Structure formats: structure tokens, C-alpha cells
């Protein structure tokens, strides 16, 4: 029997994943808003940034560890909240959670997943107290928001990430020309019970509308801060002024994101947003996280050089799960770690603290 080919890159993993997935699932995961131009732009702009090699820098060893929100992590890579890990493989959510915990990197759980947060949390207990982040929104009624926060706190999650860039559903050809909701036939146990009951009733009545989960005001961040001692991360930031507003409202960290190119097709690449936002946020000492188009350790290094503290990945995790489950995720992380380690060495960086814009070719 021929030995299984070991993937060389995340692109190899994605190609293999697309062959294994059902077409409608692959279309949903890898597609973007409008004509998918935002998805393409995220990666295209990233690849246009070049690294600046440095020699004779005494680099016998490198340390990839860093901290976010005061927690030490093994490398500046985390898992974005994606709601379809169970679509690509049974137990995908817990596989991803356990992989992140075993690697000591941040894990984000989407409120749009079919597995209760309590069950996901239980799967990570063998790894101690890994960094767990719950994605949520400010819901229509304060009691709904408090309901979810109480569950998150009880499980010992350390942070909440508020999704800000989803006031309406992006127009996507792969889940209905007007943005039909793909979760109408599945359970969503991490949403407020009343909100979910109202949603299910609208399905039965034939009046299906989107689940109301948008965060509409900067004061919503302030409200959340008053409800909990958990760290609050503002996700979906693309403008410097919006970053400042989020900080003013009490956000503990800024997460630059364009929803993986799934909301505004003609929006900027997230790495371009980082170039503008980082200099403005730096004076406040607030950490910046970013996602969108990261497919290698080289990409991670570029974002670190531009001021990001941690880089989050979504689709690569789904691809790895589809190919080989929990083992596939570990393989994917090994690739990214190796790439980041090599690139740091070739650019003269012994640790994350030494990474700066000087390693970028300008």
C-alpha cells in the first residue's frame, strides 16, 4: 500500500479537503460575499508583502511563545470562531478545541455551533486551563445576553469576543441569493433559549427571518463590560476610528476582521486594515488580533511585524478537520509553526518581541 502523502502546505490541505467535502458544504465554507472577491483579496494582498532577510544574527534557537490577555501561549496563532466544524466531520468542534488546548493556543467558540459550550469546555479539561474565548453578540433583550454570559462564566472561559460586523447578512451565492440561513434545520444550543424559540417559531410559521444578533452601538460594549469581569474583545474592526471608539467603550482588545470576506465583497484586505489601525491603537497599549487570509507561518510573521499580537485562523482549521480530524489539525499547526520558526530565523528574530516592521521589504 502506498504511504499517505504528507501535506507540505496549508494550500495542500485545503485542496485535499475540497475533494472530501460535499459540494454544498465546500461552497459554503470557502465562498465569500458577492463574487468572492474579498476572500481572494485577503490572500492576494498578503502575498504581495515581502519579508526582508537578515544574516549573521546569532540565531541558534527561537522562542515562538507570547502572551495575549495576560495568558502565555505557545505561539501567536489561535482558532477563529467558525460555526460549521461539525459539518466537515463528526465531533469536529471538540477535535478543534482539544487540538488548540494541547498546543496551548487560543480557542474561540462560535455561538452558531451545534455543540453546547459546556460540552466543548469539558473536552478541554484534561489540558488544564487553556485560553477559551466565547463569540457572542448583544441580544435583543438584556436577559438573553446575561443568560449566555452566565453560562460562559460558569465554564471558566476567560474572554468574550463580540461580533460587530454582522448588522445584516452578506449577500452570498452559496447559501441563497438573498442570504438564506443555513442553520434553520440544526440546533443552536449556544444562543439564548428565547431567541432560538422565536427563530424556530418563525420557521414553522413560514416567516423565517435572520436571528437577531447584531451589536448596534458602541455602548453595547460598555453594557457587556458592566455585566461581567471577563475580557471583552471587539471583533470586525476595519477603521482606525472604529478601533478608537471600541477602546473608548471599554474593549480590552481589538480584532481586525472582515468575516473572512463573507460580508462586504469590496471591503479592504484585513492586512491593509492592520497597517492603518496599528499605529493609532499603539499609544493605548491595547492588543490587536487579526484574521482573514492567513495560510502560512510567513503570513503570520508579516502581521506580527505590522503590529498584531495574535493571528486567528478559521478555514484552515476546517480544512484540516475534513482531511484527518484532530490529527489533521495537529499536522496543520506543525506546518505553520515550522514556517514561522524558519521565517523568524531568516529574518533575524530570536523571539516574538524582536519582530518589527524592519523585517518587511519596503
Catalytic residue IDs: 259
Query: Looking at the predicted structure, is the pLDDT value of residue 266 above 50?
Result: yes
> Which pLDDT band holds residue 310 (cuts at 50, 70, 90)?
very high
- H-run or E-run covering 73: strand 71-73
Q: Was 37 annotated as part of a binding site?
A: no
Q: Was 67 annotated as part of a binding site?
A: no
Look at residue 176 in the predicted model and tell me its pLDDT: 44
For the segment 222-237, the average pLDDT, to the nearest whole number, is 96
56 versus 209: which is more confidently predicted? Answer: 56
Look at residue 83 in the predicted model and tell me its pLDDT: 85
Instruction: Say how many CA atoms lie within 13 Å of 320 toward its Cβ.
Output: 28
For the segment 259-283, the average pLDDT, to the nearest whole number, is 86
User: Which DSSP symbol is given to 5?
Assistant: P
3-state class of 82 per DSSP? coil
Cα 21 to chain centroid, rounded: 21
Nearest residue to 41 (alpha-carbon basis) of 258, 305, 237: 258
Q: Where are the domains of the chain?
A: 10-359
> Which pLDDT band holds residue 33 (cuts at 50, 70, 90)?
low
Q: Was 201 annotated as part of a binding site?
A: no
**Interval 130-180: pLDDT, tens:** 999 999 988 888 999 999 999 999 999 999 999 987 655 556 666 543 444
- This prediction has a pTM of 0.92
Q: Was 165 annotated as part of a binding site?
A: no
For the segment 250-254, the average pLDDT, to the nearest whole number, is 98
Q: Was 28 annotated as part of a binding site?
A: yes
CATH says 10-359 is which class? Answer: alpha beta
Q: Was 291 annotated as part of a binding site?
A: yes
Look at residue 28 in the predicted model and tell me its pLDDT: 86
In 10 A of CB 301, how many CB atoms?
27
Amino acid at each position: 500500500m502506498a504511504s499517505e502523502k504528507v501535506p507540505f502546505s496549508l494550500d495542500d490541505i485545503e485542496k485535499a479537503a475540497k475533494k472530501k467535502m460535499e459540494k454544498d458544504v465546500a461552497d459554503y465554507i470557502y465562498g465569500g460575499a458577492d463574487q468572492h472577491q474579498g476572500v481572494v483579496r485577503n490572500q492576494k494582498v498578503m502575498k504581495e508583502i515581502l519579508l526582508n532577510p537578515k544574516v549573521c544574527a546569532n540565531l541558534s534557537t527561537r522562542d515562538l511563545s507570547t502572551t495575549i490577555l495576560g495568558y502565555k501561549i505557545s505561539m501567536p496563532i489561535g482558532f477563529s470562531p467558525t460555526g460549521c466544524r461539525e459539518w466537515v466531520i463528526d465531533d469536529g468542534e471538540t477535535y478543534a478545541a482539544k487540538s488548540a488546548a494541547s498546543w496551548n493556543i487560543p480557542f474561540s467558540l462560535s455561538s452558531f455551533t451545534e455543540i453546547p459550550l459546556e460540552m466543548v469546555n469539558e473536552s478541554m479539561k484534561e489540558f488544564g486551563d487553556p485560553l477559551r474565548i466565547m463569540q457572542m453578540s448583544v441580544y435583543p433583550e438584556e436577559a438573553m445576553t446575561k443568560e449566555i454570559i452566565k453560562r460562559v462564566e460558569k465554564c471558566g472561559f476567560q474572554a468574550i469576543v463580540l461580533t460587530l460586523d454582522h448588522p445584516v447578512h452578506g449577500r452570498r451565492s452559496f447559501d441563497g441569493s438573498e442570504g438564506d440561513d443555513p442553520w434553520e434545520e440544526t440546533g443552536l444550543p449556544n444562543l439564548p433559549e428565547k431567541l432560538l424559540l422565536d427563530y424556530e417559531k418563525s420557521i414553522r410559521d413560514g416567516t423565517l427571518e435572520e436571528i437577531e444578533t447584531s451589536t448596534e452601538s458602541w455602548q453595547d460594549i460598555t453594557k457587556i463590560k458592566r455585566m461581567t469581569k471577563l475580557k471583552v474583545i471587539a471583533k470586525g474592526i476595519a477603521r482606525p476610528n472604529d478601533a478608537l471608539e471600541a477602546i473608548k467603550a471599554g474593549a480590552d482588545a481589538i480584532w481586525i476582521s472582515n468575516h473572512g470576506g463573507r460580508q462586504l465583497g469590496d471591503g479592504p484586505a484585513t492586512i491593509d486594515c492592520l497597517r492603518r489601525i496599528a499605529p493609532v491603537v499603539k499609544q493605548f497599549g491595547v492588543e490587536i488580533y487579526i484574521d482573514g487570509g492567513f495560510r502560512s507561518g510567513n503570513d503570520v510573521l508579516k502581521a506580527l511585524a505590522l503590529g498584531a499580537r495574535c493571528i486567528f485562523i478559521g478555514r484552515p482549521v476546517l480544512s484540516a478537520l475534513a482531511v484527518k480530524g484532530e490529527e489533521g489539525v495537529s499536522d496543520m499547526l506543525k506546518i505553520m509553526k515550522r514556517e514561522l520558526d524558519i521565517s523568524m530565523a531568516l529574518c533575524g528574530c530570536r523571539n516574538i518581541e524582536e519582530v518589527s516592521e524592519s523585517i518587511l521589504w519596503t
